[in-house]
Structure 1
Amino acid sequence: MKWAIAIWAILCKDMRTYYLKPPNVSWGIIFPLAWTGMFFIKSAGEVGSIASLLPGVVAVSILFGTTSMLAVTVTFEKKSRSFERLLLAPLPFELLMLAKTGGAILFGVANAFVPVIMAAFLIDLGGIVWSIFIPAVVLVALASTFLGLFIAVAVSEVFEAQTFSNFFRFPMMFLCGLFFPVEQLPSLLKPLAYALPLTYGADALHGAVRGAHNLPFAVDLAVLVLFCAGLFALSLWNIRRNWIL
Structure 2
Amino acid sequence: MNTLTAFWNIFVKDMRTYYLKPPNVSWGIIFPLAWTGMFFIRSGSGLESIPALLPGLVAISILFGTTSMLSVTVTFEKKNRSFERLLLAPISLNVLMLAKTGGAIVFGVINAFIPVIMAVFFADVSGIFWTVFLAAVFFIAVASTFLGLFIAVSVSEVFEAQTFSNFFRFPMIFLCGLFFPISRLPWLLRPISFCLPLTYGADLLHGAIGGGNTMPLLLDLGLLLLFCTALFAASLWNIRRKWIA
TM-score interval (norm. to shorter): over 0.9
Label 1:28 to 1:71 Cα distance change in 2 as closer, same or farther (>3 A). Answer: farther
Q: What secondary structure, in the 3-state scheme, does the structure 2 residue paired with 1:211 have?
A: coil
Distance 2:162 2:211 in 1: 34
Distance 1:143 1:150 in 2: 11
Confirm whether residue 53 of structure 1 aligns to residue 75 of structure 2. no
Label 1:24 to 1:78 Cα distance change in 2 as closer, same or farther (>3 A). Answer: farther
Distance 1:115 1:133 in 2: 13
Confirm whether residue 138 of structure 1 aligns to residue 138 of structure 2. yes
Residue 79 of structure 1 is matched in structure 2 by 79
Q: CA deviation at 1:47?
A: 4.2
Mapping 1:86-235, distance limit 5 Å: 86-235=86-235
Instruction: Read off the aligned partner of 1:168 and give its amino acid letter.
Output: F
**Residue ranges of structure 1 left out of the alignment (5+ in a row):** none
Distance 1:104 1:20 in 2: 11
Distance 1:138 1:207 in 2: 15
Whether the aligned pair in 2 keeps the contact of 1:33 and 1:61 (CA below 8 Å) is no
Q: CA deviation at 1:29?
A: 5.2
Q: CA deviation at 1:40?
A: 3.1
The Cα offsets for residues 179-202 of structure 1, whole Å up to 9 and x where unpaired, read as 111111010100000110000000
Distance 1:234 1:51 in 2: 36
Tell me how many residue pairs correspond in the alignment.
245
Q: CA deviation at 1:21?
A: 6.8
Q: CA deviation at 1:31?
A: 3.6
Whether the aligned pair in 2 keeps the contact of 1:206 and 1:212 (CA below 8 Å) is yes
Label 1:25 to 1:164 Cα distance change in 2 as closer, same or farther (>3 A). Answer: farther
Distance 1:180 1:196 in 2: 16
Q: CA deviation at 1:174?
A: 0.3
Percent sequence identity over aligned pairs: 71
Label 1:90 to 1:77 Cα distance change in 2 as closer, same or farther (>3 A). Answer: same
The Cα offsets for residues 96-118 of structure 1, whole Å up to 9 and x where unpaired, read as 11001000000011110011001
* Residue range with higher mean Cα deviation, 155-164 or 35-44: 35-44
Q: CA deviation at 1:5?
A: 1.5
The Cα offsets for residues 54-102 of structure 1, whole Å up to 9 and x where unpaired, read as 0001000000011011112101100110000111111111011100100
Distance 2:125 2:166 in 1: 31
Distance 1:129 1:75 in 2: 38
What RMSD over aligned residues (CA atoms) do the two structures have, in Å?
2.0
Q: If the length of structure 2 is used for normalisation, what is the TM-score?
A: 0.94
Label 1:182 to 1:193 Cα distance change in 2 as closer, same or farther (>3 A). Answer: same
Q: CA deviation at 1:235?
A: 0.7
The Cα offsets for residues 156-197 of structure 1, whole Å up to 9 and x where unpaired, read as 221211111000000000000111111110101000001100
Whether the aligned pair in 2 keeps the contact of 1:70 and 1:104 (CA below 8 Å) is yes
**Residue ranges of structure 2 left out of the alignment (5+ in a row):** none
Distance 2:127 2:57 in 1: 18
Q: If the length of structure 1 is used for normalisation, what is the TM-score?
A: 0.94
Label 1:62 to 1:192 Cα distance change in 2 as closer, same or farther (>3 A). Answer: same
Q: What secondary structure, in the 3-state scheme, does the structure 1 residue paired with 2:209 have?
A: helix
Residue 36 of structure 2 is matched in structure 1 by 36
